[in-house]
Structure 1
Amino acid sequence: MDPRKLLYFACIAENGSFKKAAKQLEVSQPALSTSMDRLERELGEKLLDRSPTGVTLTPTGELIYAHARLIRDELDLAERRMTKREDQDQGTLTFGTLPSLAAAIVPKAVCRWQARSETPTLCIVEKVQIDLLLGLIRGEVSFIVGMSESYGFIDGLRQRVLFRDKLHVIARPDHPAVPREGLTWSDLAEYPWILQMLGKQRTLVEQLFAQEGLGLPRELTECGSVACIKTMVAESDNIALLPASAVNADIAEGRLRSIDIPDPLLHRDIAVMFRERTPLTDAGRRLVEEIEAAGQALS
């Protein structure tokens, strides 16, 4: 099977039209139609239903499109990785981090890193944990700084814990729960909560409530932006769980309040993760050292 025909097929499927696909691919429409006829003959299956208004995929076409798209995406990835390698050779450092770490720890570390040495061009990618991990596996970043995980099942990844991040249950200063003494997780379940996007931190919140035989609060919002979470908490009855480094300044300024509810689970370990066969550059190691120092100071 000719991979080029599959790439053509993916383009037709996404455009829903031979005319639009031919224009995008910069080939003639008759040549594109002939290529698809040959692909269908090779497979012995009809892939496209043609009509005056365009084309739609048959069930077999849907299956082939899924594979054709993967082939195209892998080729695009290879091209991006080659470009990324050229950028790295020219002095570009790309790393990924969590939104909660980008709120205070990473900016402090980067500024110290830039002030202390001659630094290359820096690209900071801010994503949720699962997207950071995927980017690392696909070679889109040199390393990531996120929540420590057990990656033994993923061959070729390594991690080193940098610091332990204390977590605060936060609310606005005049929240009804703030003056209450002896609060339990059952008490806090009465209020609406905002959680960071699906991931380990949500699992932690589930564990905290499960200690008292509870599920997650019924009124729940998920948000990937730390700034948005803090604003919503400050202006409503919402409660959230955020790291100390992201909220210490807000608490000191009286904008937010930490709810006193002692629990040994209120922490997370932050680690640097990298590919075993792609060691950190000298600049990368120095930056990780600054992130480690900033995290230990601010947590």
Structure 2
Amino acid sequence: MIDANLRHLRVFLAVAEGGSITRAAELCHVSQPAVTQAIAKLEAEAGTALFTRTTHGLFATEAGEVLRHRTSRALDALDTQLTEFAPRLKLTATRAQLQALIAAAEAQNFSLAARRLGVSQPTVHRAITQLEKEAGRALFQRSPFGIVPTRGCANLARIARLAFVELEQARAELGDLSGREVGQIVIGAMPLSRSHVLPKAIVAFRKMRPNMAVKVLEGSYDELLGGLRRGEIDFLIGALRDPAPIGDVVQEKLFDDTLVVLAGRDHPLLGQPLPAADELANWPWLVTREGTPTRAQFEAFFSDAGVNLPRGLIETGSVILMREMVQDGRHLACVSRAQAEGEIERGLVEVLTDNFSGTRRPIGLTLRDGWEPTPAQAQMLMAVRST
């Protein structure tokens, strides 16, 4: 379904909802042969019948119902956004034009957008110009440094991308019905999940879906959140934010995590009660970067005690680097318990204190609001929740 054009999908919806080729032709302002041809093309792409033909009309098969549901969700959101620009765009905007819009909005350069799509630069420029002509307004602000999408254009590009993601999910579900694994599951993983929770969840998922491709993306929270909102990532796993960062995502708590202080086997403070903040400030530390929840709790520990932060902090999100650095018997590391669980279980590091900040932070899933997972995505979520 990834290559189906929007007109064919609109015709398909009209048939699915009305059960009649004649009524669909009238509603879509096309001929009956055009409707028949559109349905035949979609069925060829799906590799299965989408309708059961009877004397009383056409009725969606199981595959047809899957495509109807996903297509309806995709076009409802897209058409609402297109209509806000200009009512005609709902009828005239093509898939190729919207793909050009998405690429240009993300690359902020026509040449880079063209390279991403594998077409010529004039092709992208022409597609954008056609959309602007129909919309009666500029979609980009031109400058010597490139192009910047207007706020409305950026939102349209995001909604259009999500609509195409919805159609990708239809493709995956149709493959599922025929016993084929289609597409891949993309997970945005923050550091603490990559070392303990996620590996076990993927192993459990592999037993259910041995052939499904899984892609784990790493990056800062802001980068991963952007990918989630654009539909490039299916869900995030890691520390939750309070409040949720934006209204179009929802958070689901899985468990509470604590901060631990890691040390090497020969550190002088091992085996003693937790020293006061002023004594801990004298030791060299490895901590996560500024802006992370772990860093905020680390700084709050010393601030609440009225003690200046340790000097010469080493910023890193790598547990491997922390593990190696603390072996010198001097360095200490402040990190999420879940993130360091593997090193702790294997005896590669020692825990100086098991609840450093005295607070607990929620760890869980971040999902797009209104997202409906495919069966494979739902099984991955189940594996994560079970773990």
Fold shared per TM-score above 0.5 = yes
How far residue 81 of structure 1 moved from its aligned partner, in angstroms, is 6.3
d(CA) in 2 for partners of 1:150, 1:179: 35
Worse-matched range after superposition: 221-230 or 200-209: 221-230
Task: Check the 8 A contact 1:98/1:128 in 2, yes or no.
Answer: yes
d(CA) in 1 for partners of 2:344, 2:244: 38
Equivalent position SS for 2:283: coil
How far residue 267 of structure 1 moved from its aligned partner, in angstroms, is 3.1
Count of aligned pairs: 246
Partner of 2:199: 107
Partner of 2:335: 242
Equivalent position SS for 1:104: helix
Partner of 1:125: 217
Which structure has the larger Rg?
A: 2
- Cα pair distance change 1:84/1:176, threshold 3 Å: farther
How far residue 201 of structure 1 moved from its aligned partner, in angstroms, is 1.4
Partner of residue 144 from structure 1, selected from 236, 242, 255: 236
Letter in 2 for 1:254: G
Matching of residue 93 in structure 1 with residue 172 in structure 2: no
Instruction: Encode CA deviations 1:245-291: one digit per residue, 9 max, x unaligned.
Output: 33334334432110136556343211111111322333223222222
5+ unaligned residues in a row in structure 1: which ranges? 15-23, 28-62, 295-299
- Cα pair distance change 1:238/1:119, threshold 3 Å: same
Where does 1:1-299 land on structure 2 (aligned, <5 Å)? 64-65=143-144, 68-69=147-148, 88=169, 89=171, 90-117=182-209, 120-152=212-244, 154-198=246-290, 199-235=292-328, 237-260=330-353, 262-263=355-356, 265-294=358-387
Letter in 1 for 2:338: S
Equivalent position SS for 1:204: helix
d(CA) in 2 for partners of 1:128, 1:26: 32
- Cα pair distance change 1:117/1:166, threshold 3 Å: same
Letter in 2 for 1:239: L
Instruction: Encode CA deviations 1:91-138: one digit per residue, 9 max, x unaligned.
Output: 321121112210121011101111034663211112232222222222
d(CA) in 2 for partners of 1:166, 1:261: 8
d(CA) in 2 for partners of 1:205, 1:124: 28
Letter in 2 for 1:112: A
How far residue 80 of structure 1 moved from its aligned partner, in angstroms, is 7.3
Higher relative CO (Cα under 8 Å, sequence separation at least 6) belongs to: 1
Instruction: Encode CA deviations 1:208-249: one digit per residue, 9 max, x unaligned.
Output: 212201243211111132222222223462211223333334
Instruction: Encode CA deviations 1:169-190: one digit per residue, 9 max, x unaligned.
Output: 1111112322443412222111
Instruction: Tell me the TM-score normalized by structure 2.
Output: 0.54
Worse-matched range after superposition: 233-242 or 85-94: 85-94
d(CA) in 2 for partners of 1:79, 1:95: 21
5+ unaligned residues in a row in structure 2: which ranges? 1-99, 113-118, 123-141, 172-181
d(CA) in 2 for partners of 1:147, 1:254: 25
Instruction: Encode CA deviations 1:18-52: one digit per residue, 9 max, x unaligned.
Output: xxxxxx9778xxxxxxxxxxxxxxxxxxxxxxxxx
d(CA) in 2 for partners of 1:235, 1:100: 24
Equivalent position SS for 2:147: helix
How far residue 159 of structure 1 moved from its aligned partner, in angstroms, is 0.8
Is the helix fraction higher in 1 or 2?
2
Worse-matched range after superposition: 77-86 or 179-188: 77-86
Instruction: Encode CA deviations 1:34-91: one digit per residue, 9 max, x unaligned.
Output: xxxxxxxxxxxxxxxxxxxxxxxxxxxxx924661557x9699889768766654333
d(CA) in 2 for partners of 1:127, 1:86: 26
